[in-house]
Structure 1
Amino acid sequence: MIKKSVFTLAGMTLLIAQSLQAAPLRVAADPVPHAEILAYVKKIDPKLDLNIVELSGSVNANELLASGDVDANYFQHLPYLKDQEKALGKTFAVAANVHIEPLGIYSRKVKSLDALPQGASIAVPNNTTNLSRALWLLQDKGVIRLKAQGAAGSTLVTPKNISDNPKQIKIIEIESPQLPRSLDDVDAAIINGNYALEAGLTPAKDALGLESAEHNPYANLLVTTPELAKDPRIVQLAKDLTSPQVTDFIRKNYHGSVIPVADEKHD
Protein backbone atom coordinates (compact mmCIF):
# COMPACT_ATOMS: atom_id res chain seq x y z
CA MET A 1 0.00 0.00 0.00
CA ILE A 2 2.81 2.43 0.84
CA LYS A 3 4.55 1.84 -2.48
CA LYS A 4 1.29 2.36 -4.34
CA SER A 5 0.71 5.69 -2.53
CA VAL A 6 4.22 6.93 -3.35
CA PHE A 7 3.74 5.97 -6.98
CA THR A 8 0.39 7.75 -7.10
CA LEU A 9 1.86 10.90 -5.54
CA ALA A 10 4.75 10.87 -7.99
CA GLY A 11 2.30 10.43 -10.85
CA MET A 12 0.21 13.36 -9.66
CA THR A 13 3.32 15.53 -9.36
CA LEU A 14 4.31 14.61 -12.92
CA LEU A 15 0.83 15.40 -14.21
CA ILE A 16 0.85 18.80 -12.46
CA ALA A 17 4.28 19.60 -13.91
CA GLN A 18 3.15 18.58 -17.39
CA SER A 19 0.00 20.67 -17.02
CA LEU A 20 2.02 23.76 -16.03
CA GLN A 21 4.35 23.32 -18.98
CA ALA A 22 1.37 23.00 -21.33
CA ALA A 23 -0.28 26.17 -20.00
CA PRO A 24 0.37 29.56 -21.60
CA LEU A 25 3.25 31.45 -20.02
CA ARG A 26 1.82 34.70 -18.65
CA VAL A 27 4.36 37.53 -18.76
CA ALA A 28 3.61 41.07 -17.58
CA ALA A 29 5.46 43.72 -19.59
CA ASP A 30 5.51 47.43 -20.35
CA PRO A 31 4.01 48.11 -23.80
CA VAL A 32 7.23 49.62 -25.21
CA PRO A 33 9.69 48.09 -25.78
CA HIS A 34 9.12 45.00 -23.64
CA ALA A 35 5.78 43.80 -25.04
CA GLU A 36 7.01 44.53 -28.57
CA ILE A 37 10.09 42.38 -27.97
CA LEU A 38 7.94 39.59 -26.53
CA ALA A 39 5.64 39.78 -29.56
CA TYR A 40 8.70 39.22 -31.74
CA VAL A 41 9.61 36.20 -29.58
CA LYS A 42 6.14 34.79 -30.26
CA LYS A 43 6.84 35.16 -33.96
CA ILE A 44 10.20 33.38 -33.96
CA ASP A 45 9.25 30.74 -31.36
CA PRO A 46 5.58 29.82 -31.91
CA LYS A 47 5.95 26.66 -29.84
CA LEU A 48 6.35 28.81 -26.74
CA ASP A 49 2.78 29.75 -25.86
CA LEU A 50 3.20 33.31 -24.58
CA ASN A 51 0.38 35.31 -23.03
CA ILE A 52 1.65 38.91 -22.94
CA VAL A 53 -0.02 40.99 -20.22
CA GLU A 54 0.60 44.65 -21.02
CA LEU A 55 1.02 46.86 -17.96
CA SER A 56 -0.90 50.10 -17.62
CA GLY A 57 -1.30 52.85 -15.06
CA SER A 58 -0.11 52.06 -11.55
CA VAL A 59 -0.32 48.26 -11.81
CA ASN A 60 2.56 46.70 -9.88
CA ALA A 61 3.92 43.80 -11.94
CA ASN A 62 5.80 42.41 -8.95
CA GLU A 63 2.58 42.19 -6.95
CA LEU A 64 1.01 40.36 -9.90
CA LEU A 65 3.93 37.93 -9.88
CA ALA A 66 3.87 37.43 -6.11
CA SER A 67 0.12 36.69 -6.15
CA GLY A 68 0.42 34.21 -9.01
CA ASP A 69 -1.55 36.29 -11.51
CA VAL A 70 1.41 36.10 -13.91
CA ASP A 71 4.33 33.69 -14.22
CA ALA A 72 7.01 36.28 -14.98
CA ASN A 73 7.49 39.95 -15.67
CA TYR A 74 9.78 41.91 -17.97
CA PHE A 75 10.08 45.63 -17.24
CA GLN A 76 12.54 46.37 -14.42
CA HIS A 77 16.22 46.60 -13.54
CA LEU A 78 17.98 44.94 -10.60
CA PRO A 79 18.17 47.91 -8.17
CA TYR A 80 14.41 48.42 -8.58
CA LEU A 81 13.78 44.70 -8.11
CA LYS A 82 15.79 44.64 -4.88
CA ASP A 83 13.85 47.63 -3.59
CA GLN A 84 10.58 45.85 -4.47
CA GLU A 85 11.65 42.68 -2.68
CA LYS A 86 12.14 44.70 0.51
CA ALA A 87 8.85 46.54 0.09
CA LEU A 88 6.81 43.41 -0.64
CA GLY A 89 8.68 41.01 1.64
CA LYS A 90 9.12 38.64 -1.29
CA THR A 91 12.06 36.99 -3.05
CA PHE A 92 12.08 36.78 -6.83
CA ALA A 93 14.42 35.13 -9.32
CA VAL A 94 16.21 36.71 -12.28
CA ALA A 95 15.91 34.50 -15.35
CA ALA A 96 17.72 36.73 -17.87
CA ASN A 97 19.43 40.09 -18.36
CA VAL A 98 18.02 41.35 -21.66
CA HIS A 99 18.54 45.00 -22.55
CA ILE A 100 19.44 48.47 -21.31
CA GLU A 101 17.24 51.54 -21.72
CA PRO A 102 19.56 54.49 -21.06
CA LEU A 103 17.95 57.11 -18.84
CA GLY A 104 17.74 60.45 -20.60
CA ILE A 105 17.37 64.17 -19.88
CA TYR A 106 14.81 65.87 -22.14
CA SER A 107 13.57 69.43 -22.59
CA ARG A 108 11.19 71.45 -24.73
CA LYS A 109 12.62 74.72 -23.46
CA VAL A 110 16.38 74.47 -23.89
CA LYS A 111 18.61 72.88 -26.51
CA SER A 112 21.50 71.92 -24.22
CA LEU A 113 22.21 71.34 -20.54
CA ASP A 114 24.49 74.39 -20.55
CA ALA A 115 21.43 76.48 -21.47
CA LEU A 116 19.50 75.50 -18.34
CA PRO A 117 18.62 78.77 -16.59
CA GLN A 118 19.40 79.65 -12.99
CA GLY A 119 16.78 78.04 -10.76
CA ALA A 120 15.69 75.62 -13.49
CA SER A 121 13.18 72.94 -12.54
CA ILE A 122 14.02 69.32 -13.41
CA ALA A 123 11.42 66.59 -13.01
CA VAL A 124 12.75 63.19 -11.94
CA PRO A 125 11.22 59.78 -11.15
CA ASN A 126 9.80 59.62 -7.63
CA ASN A 127 10.68 55.99 -6.85
CA THR A 128 13.77 55.42 -4.77
CA THR A 129 16.01 53.70 -7.29
CA ASN A 130 15.22 55.76 -10.38
CA LEU A 131 15.40 59.02 -8.39
CA SER A 132 18.91 58.00 -7.36
CA ARG A 133 19.72 57.01 -10.93
CA ALA A 134 18.54 60.43 -12.17
CA LEU A 135 20.75 62.29 -9.69
CA TRP A 136 23.79 60.24 -10.68
CA LEU A 137 23.04 61.13 -14.32
CA LEU A 138 22.88 64.83 -13.45
CA GLN A 139 26.26 64.53 -11.76
CA ASP A 140 27.71 62.65 -14.72
CA LYS A 141 26.59 65.50 -17.00
CA GLY A 142 28.06 68.18 -14.73
CA VAL A 143 24.77 69.74 -13.59
CA ILE A 144 25.20 68.92 -9.88
CA ARG A 145 27.71 67.28 -7.60
CA LEU A 146 26.92 64.61 -5.02
CA LYS A 147 28.69 64.05 -1.73
CA ALA A 148 27.97 60.31 -1.91
CA GLN A 149 30.75 57.83 -2.64
CA GLY A 150 30.53 54.95 -5.07
CA ALA A 151 28.93 54.55 -8.46
CA ALA A 152 25.43 54.72 -9.83
CA GLY A 153 23.53 51.60 -8.90
CA SER A 154 25.79 50.80 -5.94
CA THR A 155 24.83 53.75 -3.74
CA LEU A 156 21.33 55.19 -3.41
CA VAL A 157 21.17 58.97 -3.22
CA THR A 158 18.47 61.59 -2.70
CA PRO A 159 18.42 65.37 -3.20
CA LYS A 160 19.84 65.62 0.34
CA ASN A 161 23.09 64.20 -1.07
CA ILE A 162 23.59 67.13 -3.45
CA SER A 163 26.69 69.00 -2.31
CA ASP A 164 27.12 71.44 -5.19
CA ASN A 165 24.26 72.94 -7.20
CA PRO A 166 25.68 75.96 -9.07
CA LYS A 167 22.47 76.71 -10.98
CA GLN A 168 20.25 76.11 -7.94
CA ILE A 169 18.37 73.40 -9.81
CA LYS A 170 14.98 72.53 -8.32
CA ILE A 171 14.35 68.79 -8.23
CA ILE A 172 10.67 67.87 -8.69
CA GLU A 173 9.70 64.25 -8.03
CA ILE A 174 6.96 62.86 -10.28
CA GLU A 175 5.60 59.36 -10.96
CA SER A 176 7.62 57.86 -13.80
CA PRO A 177 4.74 57.37 -16.31
CA GLN A 178 3.80 61.07 -15.93
CA LEU A 179 7.26 62.46 -16.68
CA PRO A 180 6.77 62.94 -20.46
CA ARG A 181 3.64 65.00 -19.73
CA SER A 182 5.63 67.25 -17.40
CA LEU A 183 7.87 68.53 -20.21
CA ASP A 184 5.64 71.56 -20.85
CA ASP A 185 5.72 72.54 -17.17
CA VAL A 186 9.40 72.13 -16.26
CA ASP A 187 12.71 73.14 -17.81
CA ALA A 188 13.77 69.51 -18.20
CA ALA A 189 12.70 66.02 -17.22
CA ILE A 190 14.64 62.82 -16.68
CA ILE A 191 12.62 60.03 -18.26
CA ASN A 192 12.99 56.25 -18.30
CA GLY A 193 13.62 54.85 -21.76
CA ASN A 194 10.34 52.96 -22.04
CA TYR A 195 8.23 56.00 -21.17
CA ALA A 196 10.27 58.17 -23.52
CA LEU A 197 9.66 55.74 -26.38
CA GLU A 198 5.93 55.55 -25.58
CA ALA A 199 5.79 59.36 -25.74
CA GLY A 200 7.33 59.39 -29.22
CA LEU A 201 10.78 60.49 -28.09
CA THR A 202 13.91 58.88 -29.50
CA PRO A 203 16.38 58.74 -26.60
CA ALA A 204 19.47 58.35 -28.77
CA LYS A 205 18.49 61.46 -30.76
CA ASP A 206 16.32 63.66 -28.52
CA ALA A 207 18.00 63.44 -25.12
CA LEU A 208 20.18 66.36 -23.99
CA GLY A 209 22.10 63.85 -21.89
CA LEU A 210 21.96 60.06 -21.91
CA GLU A 211 23.30 57.35 -19.65
CA SER A 212 26.22 55.36 -20.95
CA ALA A 213 25.48 51.71 -21.71
CA GLU A 214 28.99 50.69 -20.70
CA HIS A 215 29.04 48.98 -17.28
CA ASN A 216 25.42 50.09 -16.84
CA PRO A 217 23.89 48.34 -13.79
CA TYR A 218 20.31 48.92 -14.96
CA ALA A 219 19.78 46.08 -17.45
CA ASN A 220 16.12 45.17 -17.83
CA LEU A 221 15.38 41.69 -16.57
CA LEU A 222 13.12 38.73 -17.10
CA VAL A 223 11.95 38.01 -13.55
CA THR A 224 10.03 35.07 -12.14
CA THR A 225 9.54 33.28 -8.82
CA PRO A 226 12.09 30.87 -7.32
CA GLU A 227 9.55 28.07 -7.82
CA LEU A 228 9.31 28.74 -11.57
CA ALA A 229 12.97 29.57 -12.20
CA LYS A 230 13.66 26.16 -13.75
CA ASP A 231 10.31 25.81 -15.50
CA PRO A 232 11.11 24.82 -19.11
CA ARG A 233 8.91 27.66 -20.41
CA ILE A 234 10.87 30.25 -18.43
CA VAL A 235 14.19 28.71 -19.47
CA GLN A 236 13.13 28.81 -23.13
CA LEU A 237 11.91 32.42 -22.93
CA ALA A 238 15.19 33.48 -21.32
CA LYS A 239 17.06 31.73 -24.12
CA ASP A 240 14.90 33.44 -26.75
CA LEU A 241 15.26 36.92 -25.23
CA THR A 242 19.05 36.68 -25.28
CA SER A 243 19.26 35.01 -28.69
CA PRO A 244 21.04 36.54 -31.73
CA GLN A 245 17.65 36.99 -33.43
CA VAL A 246 16.22 39.12 -30.61
CA THR A 247 19.49 41.00 -30.23
CA ASP A 248 19.31 41.93 -33.93
CA PHE A 249 15.62 42.86 -33.60
CA ILE A 250 16.44 45.29 -30.77
CA ARG A 251 19.34 46.84 -32.69
CA LYS A 252 17.32 47.35 -35.87
CA ASN A 253 14.13 48.61 -34.28
CA TYR A 254 15.34 50.92 -31.50
CA HIS A 255 18.47 52.47 -33.05
CA GLY A 256 20.50 52.81 -29.86
CA SER A 257 17.56 53.81 -27.64
CA VAL A 258 17.36 50.22 -26.40
CA ILE A 259 20.67 48.38 -26.20
CA PRO A 260 20.97 44.57 -25.98
CA VAL A 261 23.04 43.43 -23.01
CA ALA A 262 25.07 41.36 -25.49
CA ASP A 263 26.26 44.65 -27.06
CA GLU A 264 27.19 46.20 -23.73
CA LYS A 265 29.40 43.20 -22.92
CA HIS A 266 31.46 43.89 -26.03
CA ASP A 267 32.07 47.59 -25.30
Structure 2
Amino acid sequence: MKKGLGILSALLLSVTLTACGSADEKENDKKIVVAASPTPHGEVVKHAAEAMEKKGYDVEVKIVNDYKVPNKLLDEGDVDANLFQHVPYLNAEKKTHHYKIEEVGKVFTTPMGVYSKKYKNLAEIPDGAEIFVSSNPAEEGRFLSFFVNEGVIKLKDGVKIEDAKFTDIVENKKNLKFNNKQSAEFLPKTYKNGEGAAVIMNSNYAIDNGIIPHKDAIALEDKSSPFANILAVQEGHKDDKKFQELIKVLQSEDMKAYINKEFGKDVVPYEK
Protein backbone atom coordinates (compact mmCIF):
# COMPACT_ATOMS: atom_id res chain seq x y z
CA MET A 1 0.00 0.00 0.00
CA LYS A 2 2.79 2.37 0.93
CA LYS A 3 4.56 1.48 -2.29
CA GLY A 4 1.43 2.36 -4.27
CA LEU A 5 1.15 5.72 -2.50
CA GLY A 6 4.80 6.40 -3.26
CA ILE A 7 4.28 5.79 -6.96
CA LEU A 8 1.14 7.95 -6.92
CA SER A 9 3.01 10.78 -5.16
CA ALA A 10 5.82 10.59 -7.70
CA LEU A 11 3.33 10.75 -10.55
CA LEU A 12 1.56 13.73 -8.99
CA LEU A 13 4.90 15.50 -8.47
CA SER A 14 5.86 14.82 -12.09
CA VAL A 15 2.56 16.22 -13.36
CA THR A 16 2.92 19.27 -11.11
CA LEU A 17 6.47 19.96 -12.26
CA THR A 18 5.47 19.51 -15.90
CA ALA A 19 2.56 21.91 -15.42
CA CYS A 20 4.81 24.47 -13.72
CA GLY A 21 7.40 24.08 -16.46
CA SER A 22 4.76 24.63 -19.14
CA ALA A 23 3.48 27.72 -17.31
CA ASP A 24 7.00 29.16 -17.04
CA GLU A 25 7.69 28.48 -20.71
CA LYS A 26 4.42 30.12 -21.69
CA GLU A 27 5.26 33.17 -19.56
CA ASN A 28 8.75 33.39 -21.12
CA ASP A 29 7.20 33.28 -24.59
CA LYS A 30 5.25 36.43 -23.70
CA LYS A 31 8.06 38.34 -21.95
CA ILE A 32 10.71 40.34 -23.84
CA VAL A 33 13.46 42.33 -22.12
CA VAL A 34 15.18 44.71 -24.55
CA ALA A 35 18.47 46.49 -23.82
CA ALA A 36 18.44 49.86 -25.58
CA SER A 37 20.27 53.18 -25.73
CA PRO A 38 18.31 56.01 -24.03
CA THR A 39 17.15 58.20 -26.95
CA PRO A 40 15.61 57.46 -29.37
CA HIS A 41 16.03 53.69 -28.98
CA GLY A 42 14.57 53.33 -25.50
CA GLU A 43 11.63 55.60 -26.27
CA VAL A 44 10.86 53.69 -29.45
CA VAL A 45 10.82 50.38 -27.57
CA LYS A 46 8.58 51.87 -24.88
CA HIS A 47 6.13 52.95 -27.58
CA ALA A 48 6.30 49.48 -29.12
CA ALA A 49 5.55 47.99 -25.69
CA GLU A 50 2.09 49.59 -25.77
CA ALA A 51 1.20 47.88 -29.05
CA MET A 52 2.77 44.61 -27.92
CA GLU A 53 0.69 44.62 -24.75
CA LYS A 54 -2.44 44.52 -26.91
CA LYS A 55 -1.01 41.37 -28.51
CA GLY A 56 -0.52 39.79 -25.09
CA TYR A 57 3.23 40.49 -24.71
CA ASP A 58 5.09 42.15 -21.86
CA VAL A 59 7.99 44.22 -23.22
CA GLU A 60 10.45 45.67 -20.72
CA VAL A 61 13.12 48.23 -21.62
CA LYS A 62 16.55 48.09 -19.98
CA ILE A 63 18.33 51.39 -20.68
CA VAL A 64 22.07 51.02 -21.26
CA ASN A 65 24.12 54.11 -22.15
CA ASP A 66 27.27 52.23 -23.18
CA TYR A 67 27.87 50.56 -26.55
CA LYS A 68 29.97 47.76 -25.07
CA VAL A 69 27.33 46.42 -22.66
CA PRO A 70 24.15 45.52 -24.65
CA ASN A 71 25.70 42.72 -26.71
CA LYS A 72 27.36 41.22 -23.63
CA LEU A 73 23.99 41.21 -21.84
CA LEU A 74 22.30 39.59 -24.82
CA ASP A 75 24.98 36.97 -25.41
CA GLU A 76 24.85 35.95 -21.74
CA GLY A 77 21.05 35.78 -21.74
CA ASP A 78 20.49 38.65 -19.29
CA VAL A 79 18.20 40.29 -21.87
CA ASP A 80 16.20 38.83 -24.76
CA ALA A 81 17.07 41.42 -27.40
CA ASN A 82 18.78 44.74 -27.95
CA LEU A 83 18.31 47.84 -30.06
CA PHE A 84 21.30 50.19 -30.33
CA GLN A 85 23.59 49.08 -33.17
CA HIS A 86 23.91 48.70 -36.92
CA VAL A 87 25.11 45.61 -38.80
CA PRO A 88 28.75 46.70 -39.30
CA TYR A 89 29.07 47.26 -35.55
CA LEU A 90 27.47 43.89 -34.76
CA ASN A 91 29.81 42.14 -37.18
CA ALA A 92 32.83 43.77 -35.55
CA GLU A 93 31.59 42.77 -32.09
CA LYS A 94 31.03 39.19 -33.20
CA LYS A 95 34.49 39.01 -34.68
CA THR A 96 36.11 40.37 -31.52
CA HIS A 97 34.01 38.70 -28.81
CA HIS A 98 32.57 35.70 -30.71
CA TYR A 99 29.04 36.67 -29.71
CA LYS A 100 26.24 34.43 -30.99
CA ILE A 101 23.89 37.22 -32.03
CA GLU A 102 21.86 37.85 -35.18
CA GLU A 103 19.68 40.53 -36.75
CA VAL A 104 15.88 40.29 -36.66
CA GLY A 105 15.28 43.42 -38.72
CA LYS A 106 16.13 47.08 -39.24
CA VAL A 107 14.23 49.76 -37.33
CA PHE A 108 15.59 53.26 -37.98
CA THR A 109 18.71 55.29 -38.72
CA THR A 110 20.08 57.93 -36.38
CA PRO A 111 21.98 60.01 -38.95
CA MET A 112 25.57 60.69 -37.97
CA GLY A 113 26.60 64.31 -38.26
CA VAL A 114 29.64 66.56 -38.42
CA TYR A 115 29.53 69.41 -35.89
CA SER A 116 31.74 72.47 -35.61
CA LYS A 117 31.90 75.64 -33.55
CA LYS A 118 34.36 77.16 -36.04
CA TYR A 119 33.21 76.28 -39.56
CA LYS A 120 29.88 76.39 -41.37
CA ASN A 121 30.49 73.56 -43.85
CA LEU A 122 32.97 70.83 -44.73
CA ALA A 123 34.61 72.92 -47.45
CA GLU A 124 35.75 75.49 -44.85
CA ILE A 125 37.65 72.91 -42.77
CA PRO A 126 41.33 73.76 -43.36
CA ASP A 127 44.36 71.66 -44.23
CA GLY A 128 45.80 69.69 -41.32
CA ALA A 129 42.63 70.05 -39.26
CA GLU A 130 41.91 67.73 -36.32
CA ILE A 131 38.59 65.89 -36.49
CA PHE A 132 37.33 64.25 -33.30
CA VAL A 133 35.57 60.89 -33.75
CA SER A 134 34.71 58.00 -31.43
CA SER A 135 37.04 55.12 -30.61
CA ASN A 136 34.61 52.69 -32.24
CA PRO A 137 36.52 50.96 -35.09
CA ALA A 138 33.28 49.75 -36.70
CA GLU A 139 32.35 53.39 -37.42
CA GLU A 140 35.56 54.41 -39.22
CA GLY A 141 34.03 54.08 -42.69
CA ARG A 142 31.09 56.11 -41.52
CA PHE A 143 33.37 58.94 -40.33
CA LEU A 144 35.27 58.86 -43.60
CA SER A 145 32.13 58.86 -45.76
CA PHE A 146 31.61 62.61 -45.27
CA PHE A 147 35.01 63.41 -46.73
CA VAL A 148 34.89 60.69 -49.36
CA ASN A 149 31.64 62.22 -50.64
CA GLU A 150 33.34 65.65 -50.66
CA GLY A 151 36.20 64.29 -52.74
CA VAL A 152 38.72 65.15 -50.02
CA ILE A 153 39.57 61.54 -49.15
CA LYS A 154 39.97 58.58 -51.46
CA LEU A 155 39.88 54.92 -50.40
CA LYS A 156 41.47 51.80 -51.83
CA ASP A 157 39.64 50.41 -54.85
CA GLY A 158 36.89 47.95 -53.98
CA VAL A 159 36.50 48.99 -50.33
CA LYS A 160 32.85 49.51 -49.32
CA ILE A 161 32.27 52.57 -47.16
CA GLU A 162 30.61 50.52 -44.39
CA ASP A 163 33.72 48.32 -44.18
CA ALA A 164 36.33 51.06 -44.59
CA LYS A 165 39.11 51.73 -42.08
CA PHE A 166 41.50 54.66 -41.67
CA THR A 167 44.18 52.36 -43.06
CA ASP A 168 42.22 52.19 -46.36
CA ILE A 169 42.91 55.87 -47.08
CA VAL A 170 45.08 56.26 -50.17
CA GLU A 171 44.58 59.99 -50.65
CA ASN A 172 43.92 62.70 -48.03
CA LYS A 173 44.01 66.03 -49.90
CA LYS A 174 43.71 68.15 -46.75
CA ASN A 175 45.86 65.92 -44.54
CA LEU A 176 43.00 65.67 -42.06
CA LYS A 177 43.88 64.10 -38.72
CA PHE A 178 41.27 61.88 -37.01
CA ASN A 179 41.42 61.84 -33.21
CA ASN A 180 39.72 58.60 -32.12
CA LYS A 181 40.78 58.44 -28.49
CA GLN A 182 37.34 59.13 -26.93
CA SER A 183 34.25 57.00 -26.42
CA ALA A 184 31.15 58.17 -28.29
CA GLU A 185 29.34 59.41 -25.17
CA PHE A 186 32.04 62.05 -24.51
CA LEU A 187 31.95 63.66 -27.95
CA PRO A 188 29.03 66.07 -27.26
CA LYS A 189 31.15 67.70 -24.53
CA THR A 190 34.13 67.86 -26.91
CA TYR A 191 31.92 69.67 -29.42
CA LYS A 192 30.47 72.07 -26.85
CA ASN A 193 34.00 72.92 -25.70
CA GLY A 194 34.92 73.81 -29.27
CA GLU A 195 37.80 71.34 -29.47
CA GLY A 196 39.31 70.56 -32.86
CA ALA A 197 38.03 71.75 -36.21
CA ALA A 198 35.00 69.46 -36.04
CA VAL A 199 33.43 66.56 -34.14
CA ILE A 200 31.61 63.63 -35.77
CA MET A 201 29.00 62.01 -33.52
CA ASN A 202 25.92 59.82 -33.44
CA SER A 203 22.58 61.58 -33.37
CA ASN A 204 21.38 59.74 -30.28
CA TYR A 205 24.23 61.20 -28.21
CA ALA A 206 23.65 64.61 -29.77
CA ILE A 207 19.93 64.53 -28.93
CA ASP A 208 20.65 63.35 -25.38
CA ASN A 209 22.82 66.44 -24.89
CA GLY A 210 20.43 69.03 -26.27
CA ILE A 211 22.09 69.21 -29.69
CA ILE A 212 19.67 69.26 -32.64
CA PRO A 213 21.23 67.32 -35.54
CA HIS A 214 19.32 68.81 -38.46
CA LYS A 215 19.95 72.34 -37.15
CA ASP A 216 23.38 72.13 -35.56
CA ALA A 217 25.27 69.75 -37.87
CA ILE A 218 27.31 71.19 -40.74
CA ALA A 219 26.88 67.86 -42.56
CA LEU A 220 24.42 65.04 -41.94
CA GLU A 221 23.86 61.55 -43.36
CA ASP A 222 20.86 61.13 -45.63
CA LYS A 223 18.35 58.31 -46.05
CA SER A 224 20.78 56.29 -48.15
CA SER A 225 22.95 55.56 -45.11
CA PRO A 226 23.68 51.80 -44.75
CA PHE A 227 23.87 52.15 -40.98
CA ALA A 228 20.28 51.44 -39.90
CA ASN A 229 19.90 50.34 -36.27
CA ILE A 230 18.64 46.78 -35.82
CA LEU A 231 16.72 44.63 -33.39
CA ALA A 232 19.13 41.83 -32.46
CA VAL A 233 18.63 38.52 -30.61
CA GLN A 234 20.63 35.39 -29.82
CA GLU A 235 21.46 33.24 -32.83
CA GLY A 236 18.75 30.76 -33.74
CA HIS A 237 15.92 32.89 -32.34
CA LYS A 238 15.23 35.56 -34.95
CA ASP A 239 12.21 33.62 -36.20
CA ASP A 240 10.71 33.15 -32.73
CA LYS A 241 7.12 34.36 -32.79
CA LYS A 242 7.60 37.01 -30.10
CA PHE A 243 10.52 38.63 -31.92
CA GLN A 244 8.70 38.54 -35.25
CA GLU A 245 5.73 40.23 -33.59
CA LEU A 246 8.04 42.86 -32.09
CA ILE A 247 9.79 43.67 -35.37
CA LYS A 248 6.39 44.02 -37.08
CA VAL A 249 5.47 46.65 -34.51
CA LEU A 250 8.86 48.38 -34.77
CA GLN A 251 8.51 48.60 -38.56
CA SER A 252 4.81 49.47 -38.56
CA GLU A 253 3.23 52.62 -40.01
CA ASP A 254 2.21 53.61 -36.49
CA MET A 255 5.83 53.46 -35.37
CA LYS A 256 6.99 55.48 -38.38
CA ALA A 257 4.40 58.14 -37.53
CA TYR A 258 5.55 58.15 -33.88
CA ILE A 259 9.22 58.53 -34.84
CA ASN A 260 8.48 61.32 -37.32
CA LYS A 261 6.37 63.15 -34.75
CA GLU A 262 8.79 62.81 -31.83
CA PHE A 263 12.14 63.16 -33.60
CA GLY A 264 11.45 64.76 -36.97
CA LYS A 265 14.44 64.73 -39.32
CA ASP A 266 16.84 63.53 -36.62
CA VAL A 267 15.68 59.90 -36.77
CA VAL A 268 14.81 58.21 -40.06
CA PRO A 269 12.38 55.21 -39.91
CA TYR A 270 13.46 52.18 -41.90
CA GLU A 271 11.75 51.75 -45.25
CA LYS A 272 11.57 48.22 -46.67
TM-score range, shorter chain: 0.7 to 0.9
Structure 2 residue 4 is the aligned partner of structure 1 residue 26: no
Which residues in structure 2 correspond to 1:134-173 (within 5 Å)? 134-153=143-162, 155-158=163-166, 160-173=167-180
> 8 Å contact 1:247–1:260 — kept in the other structure?
yes
Match of 1:182 in 2: 190
1:202 to 185, 190, 212: 212
> 8 Å contact 1:250–1:260 — kept in the other structure?
yes
- Secondary structure of the 2:85 match is strand
Match of 1:37 in 2: 44
- Secondary structure of the 2:262 match is helix
Structure-2 separation of matches of 1:121 and 1:180: 16
Per-residue CA deviations over 1:196-253 (Å, capped at 9, x if unaligned) read: 2212222222221122212x32110000113543433322211110111001111122
Unaligned 5+ residue runs, structure 2?
1-10
> 8 Å contact 1:148–1:157 — kept in the other structure?
no
> 8 Å contact 1:116–1:187 — kept in the other structure?
yes
> 8 Å contact 1:103–1:190 — kept in the other structure?
yes
Structure 2 residue 245 is the aligned partner of structure 1 residue 242: no
- Secondary structure of the 2:53 match is coil
Which residues in structure 2 correspond to 1:71-82 (within 5 Å)? 71-82=80-91
TM-score by length of structure 2 reads: 0.85
Structure-2 separation of matches of 1:100 and 1:115: 27
Q: Which amino acid aligns with 2:259?
A: I
Aligned-pair distance for 1:11?
Answer: 6.4
Unaligned 5+ residue runs, structure 1?
none
Structure-2 separation of matches of 1:168 and 1:236: 49
2:234 to 213, 225, 231: 225
Q: Could you say if the C-alpha distance between residues 218 and 253 of structure 1 is closer, same or farther in structure 2, counting changes exceeding 3 Å?
A: same
Structure-1 separation of matches of 2:223 and 2:23: 45
Structure-1 separation of matches of 2:152 and 2:267: 25
Aligned pairs, number: 255
Structure-2 separation of matches of 1:60 and 1:90: 12
Q: Give the stretch that moved more between structures: 49-58 or 80-89.
A: 49-58
Q: Which amino acid aligns with 1:170?
A: K
Match of 2:106 in 1: 97
> 8 Å contact 2:71–2:82 — kept in the other structure?
yes
Structure-2 separation of matches of 1:19 and 1:202: 41
Larger Rg computed on CA atoms: 2
Structure-2 separation of matches of 1:150 and 1:58: 25
Aligned-pair distance for 1:43?
Answer: 3.1
Per-residue CA deviations over 1:59-93 (Å, capped at 9, x if unaligned) read: 51000001111110000000111111111212212
> 8 Å contact 2:133–2:179 — kept in the other structure?
yes
> 8 Å contact 2:35–2:64 — kept in the other structure?
yes
Aligned-pair distance for 1:165?
Answer: 2.2
- Secondary structure of the 2:79 match is coil
Aligned-pair distance for 1:26?
Answer: 0.9
Structure 2 residue 97 is the aligned partner of structure 1 residue 88: yes
Structure-2 separation of matches of 1:106 and 1:142: 19
